[in-house]
């Protein structure tokens, strides 16, 4: 007698679990519509965030470009000063200095070209900025080192 009652209870429990897990078609449609509305809202938020980020990047790019151009012009002036010093010194090391100055001038020109040809809409803005700043810093240091060498 206990066996049929246990079986009946198990079947009843399974049936109740099955029906409790089922949703009506109207409920499924409502849930789907809610998910679509949430997805549209998230998309709109992401589009707005991307637009704001692009504006900030554009502003940062213009500022970086202006600062870099100023540094390049400053480097041009320092290189011109080195050329004048070299011609006035009449030292035997003039050939070595001339080669180093030409090399620095070439690097400065390459940096100017990189700055002018860079497309600010590219996704690698952070890496470009990092690499360009490092190259600019290295060039500035090389000019300072050569200036120090020519003073000796």
- Give yes or no for a contact between 132 and 117, defined as CB atoms under 8 angstroms apart: no
Angle between helical axes of 125-151 and 94-117 (0-180°, round to 10): 160
**C-alpha to C-alpha distance for 112 and 109, rounded to whole angstroms:** 5
Separation between Cα atoms, residue 136 and residue 108, nearest integer Å: 8
Asked if 101 contacts 147 with a C-beta cutoff of 8 angstroms, the reply is no
Q: What is the pLDDT at residue 23?
A: 65
Q: What pLDDT shows up at residue 7?
A: 80
pLDDT in tens, 85-141: 777 666 656 777 788 888 888 998 998 888 888 876 666 777 888 888 899 899 889
**68 pLDDT higher than 80:** yes
Among 152, 143, 145, 149, CA closest to 79: 143
Phi and psi at residue 55, in whole multiples of 5°? -65, -40
Structure tokens at 55: 């504006």
* pTM score: 0.57
Average pLDDT over residues 47-75: 81
DSSP 120: T
- pLDDT reported for residue 20: 61
């Amino acid at each position: 007698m206990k066996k049929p009652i246990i079986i009946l209870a198990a079947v009843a429990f399974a049936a109740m679990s099955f029906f409790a897990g089922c949703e009506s078609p109207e409920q499924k449609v409502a849930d789907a519509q809610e998910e679509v509305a949430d997805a549209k809202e998230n998309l709109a938020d992401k589009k707005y965030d991307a637009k704001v980020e692009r504006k900030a990047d554009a502003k940062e790019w213009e500022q970086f470009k202006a600062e870099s151009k100023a540094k390049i012009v400053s480097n041009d002036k320092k290189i011109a000063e080195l050329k004048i010093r070299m011609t006035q010194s009449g030292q035997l090391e003039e050939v070595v200095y001339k080669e180093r100055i030409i090399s620095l001038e070439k690097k400065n020109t390459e940096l100017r070209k990189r700055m002018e040809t860079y497309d600010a809409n590219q996704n690698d803005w952070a890496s470009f900025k990092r690499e360009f700043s490092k190259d600019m810093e290295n060039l500035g240091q090389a000019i300072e080192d050569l200036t120090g060498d020519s003073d000796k």
